[in-house]
């Protein structure tokens, strides 16, 4: 992990901001647009077409991620594997885990199967607010572990 002991005050504030967003967006029952709105700049942008196609803002991401967590109602971070901060940029690579024991996934009733996966969240902050979130996540391993239809992971549109 990168040395985070020599961060500027602003870099530490940006790291704290990104991690607070992630904490809320990854807390079952808490994740929602309203819950993260105070952390997000007007006109912010979410980029992650393979993650949740059609999601364009950080607030929308919190909403759709909250919906996912109705299915994986014990979803949690296992670890932050890499944390990197430079100026207005924050990168977090993390491992998460959850069990399909909540709501059905489409026609699939809760399976009780657990999945562990990794993803990367790249943030940009400006004036104490998040302006951009780029998410890199190959959800195929998660879907396979849960027994969900892998066709749902094929989101490329020509």
Any domain includes 1: no
| Interval 35-68: pLDDT, tens | 999 999 999 999 987 788 889 999 999 999 999 9
Any domain includes 132: yes
pLDDT value at residue 27: 92
Any domain includes 143: yes
| Interval 107-150: pLDDT, tens | 999 999 999 999 999 999 999 999 999 999 888 999 999 999 99
Any domain includes 156: no
- The pTM (predicted TM-score) of the whole model is 0.90
Contact 14, 90 (CB under 8 A): yes
Any domain includes 4: no
pLDDT of 153 above 90: no
- Rounded average pLDDT over 99-114: 96
Range in 20-24, 74-78, 135-139 the model is least confident about:
135-139
pLDDT of 85 above 70: yes
Quote the mean pLDDT of the chain. 93
- Rounded average pLDDT over 74-95: 96
- Pairing of β 114-126 and β 129-136: antiparallel
DSSP states of 6-19 as a string? Answer: T--HHHHHHHHHHH
Please give the Cα distance from 156 to 158 (Å, whole number).
7
Question: Where residue 112 sits, what CATH number does that domain have?
Answer: 3.10.450.50
- Rounded average pLDDT over 82-102: 96
Domain that holds residue 110: 9-151
Sequence-distant (6+) residues with CB within 8 A of 37 are 59
pLDDT value at residue 158: 39
pLDDT of 2 above 80: no
pLDDT value at residue 144: 95
pLDDT value at residue 4: 76
Domain count, the chain: 1
Residue identified by tokens 């690579």 is 93
- Among 83, 86, 89, which Cα is nearest to 123's? 89
Task: Take residue 56 and report the two structure tokens written for it.
Answer: 């364009």
- Among 59, 137, 55, which Cα is nearest to 96's? 137
């Amino acid at each position: 992990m990168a040395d985070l002991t020599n961060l500027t005050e602003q870099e530490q504030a940006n790291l704290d901001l990104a991690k607070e967003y992630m904490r809320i967006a990854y807390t079952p029952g808490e994740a929602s647009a309203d819950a993260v709105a105070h952390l997000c700049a007007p006109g912010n942008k979410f980029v992650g077409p393979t993650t949740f196609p059609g999601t364009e803002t950080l607030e929308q991401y919190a909403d759709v991620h909250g919906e996912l967590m109705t299915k994986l109602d014990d979803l949690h971070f296992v670890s932050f594997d890499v944390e990197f901060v430079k100026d207005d940029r924050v990168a977090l690579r993390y491992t998460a885990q959850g069990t399909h024991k909540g709501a059905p996934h489409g026609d699939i009733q809760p399976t009780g199967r657990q999945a562990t996966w990794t993803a990367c969240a790249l943030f940009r902050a400006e004036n104490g607010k998040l302006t951009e979130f780029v998410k890199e996540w190959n959800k195929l391993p998660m879907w396979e572990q849960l027994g969900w239809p892998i066709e749902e992971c094929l989101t490329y549109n020509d």
